[in-house]
Amino acid sequence: MSLLRLVGRPLLASMFVAGGMSSVRSPKDVTPLAEPVVNPIRERVPVLPERTEQVVRLSGGVQVAAGVLLGLGRMPRLSALALAATLVPTTLAGHRYWDAEDDSTRAQQRIHFLKNLSMLGGLLIAADDTGGAPSMLWRSRHTARGLQRNAGLVRRTVRATAGPAAAVGGIKARLPH
């Protein structure tokens, strides 16, 4: 693993572990902000809990677990995708700068909104990062091409040897025993 990955993943994950712990410990602090975002999501994803407080706690738990895994470099691509999935509703719920009434609050919320967009970009890059190793999709395609090449080689070999083998077999059949 490169030094940049070794240092960068825990740095990226730290914000999610800290924020997730806060959501797990005291979800009531953000439940009023989350309500307008959670309700439309709950309509599309019926497996989510009924109470917004539980959804906030669940999201926080996902952030803690995925953040720790990303920081440790375990399943980093899946962890980054999970964090990205929780970051979008968190950003839309927590940093609605367009609804802020005074200019200083609007400016501060816009900064946080853009910071979260930057973190989302980092997570998407981390989700695409194979760490120098080929992805599963590439490996499966590469293996399939190799199998096709080998099958073609076997087919050509059988064709090339079938004629002479048949001729030898015919000659042997005519010889006295």
Nearest to 10 by CA among 83, 85, 67, 59: 67
The domain segmentation of the chain, as residue ranges, is 3-128, 135-177
Out of 107-116, 152-161, 162-171, give the one with best mean pLDDT.
107-116
DSSP state of 45: -
Q: What is the pLDDT of residues 89-116, one digit of tens each?
A: 999 988 989 988 999 999 999 999 999 9
Contacts with 17 (C-beta within 8 Å, 6 or more apart), sequence order: 63, 64, 67, 68, 71
pLDDT digits (tens, 9 = 90+) for 2-26: 888 889 999 999 999 999 999 999 9
Residues contacting 62, CB < 8 A, separation 6+: 20, 82, 83, 85, 86
Mean pLDDT of the chain: 91
